[in-house]
Structure 1
Amino acid sequence: MAYSEALAGRIRDQLQHHDNYSERNMFGGLAMMLNGNMCCGVVGEELMARVGPDRYEACLKVPYVRQMDFTGKPLRGMVYIAAAGVDSEEQLSTWVELSETFALSLPPK
């Protein structure tokens, strides 16, 4: 599955300053990794955000956000945000920072 290179580039701009930043093809898209842990990514035209289990329910109440159900079963702690929900740099930054905070809270792999 193809993914939005434009969205991937916008995310890279926010994360590539980390020494421990890498990318991996996952979930039919592109995952951005910090310390070997998935942070966020792009699947099709959508942002995939790893928000963590504590923020999961609150995030699902935000417009343009839905469960990540890649396997047919919702993955608690991960959400998809439709393109309309990350149109502005402010919107994207909010989600990337939330994902970055969670990923950096995990032990390095």
Structure 2
Amino acid sequence: MAYDAELAARVRDLMPAGATEVKMFGGLAFMVNGNMACAVGADDLLVRTGRSAYEAAIAAGAEPMVMGARTMSGYVNVAADLLRGDALADWVSRGLATAESLPPKPPK
């Protein structure tokens, strides 16, 4: 699966200095201190919300992230139609807040 290069460029512009990119989940993941903040797919954005902000993200229109038969708590998928204009910055900031709250992972 290819990821949306235009959406990836928009997300890249919102990432802090030092953020890295890794091909993951068939898309492009954006990492902060070794922790995933979000990932761009073909037509959506995967956002790491953590368990505490998961329900608020669902209430804001995101869908649960499902891998196979398993729902991944703490992660949501945000459809492209919810990423227009300044809305993308809000979703990315949710993922950044979660990634930045976690202990840094040592480089591999």
Q: TM-score, normalised by structure 1?
A: 0.92
Q: For 1:1-109, list aligned pairs within 5 A.
A: 1-15=1-15, 17-19=16-18, 21-63=19-61, 65-88=62-85, 90-109=86-105
- Secondary structure of residue in 1 paired with 2:67: coil
What is the distance in 2 between the residues matched to 1:52 and 1:66? 14
Shift of 1:57: 1.2
Shift of 1:44: 1.1
CA contact (8 A) 1:27 1:70 kept: no
Percent of pairs with identical residues: 40
Shift of 1:71: 3.4
* 1:84 partner amino acid: D
Aligned length: 105
Q: TM-score, normalised by structure 2?
A: 0.93
Question: CA deviation digits over 1:37-67, x for unaligned, max 9?
Answer: 001011111011001100101211222x101
Which protein has the bigger strand share?
Answer: 2
Q: CA RMSD in A?
A: 0.9
- Secondary structure of residue in 1 paired with 2:23: strand
Question: CA deviation digits over 1:60-96, x for unaligned, max 9?
Answer: 1222x101102321110100000000011x1001011
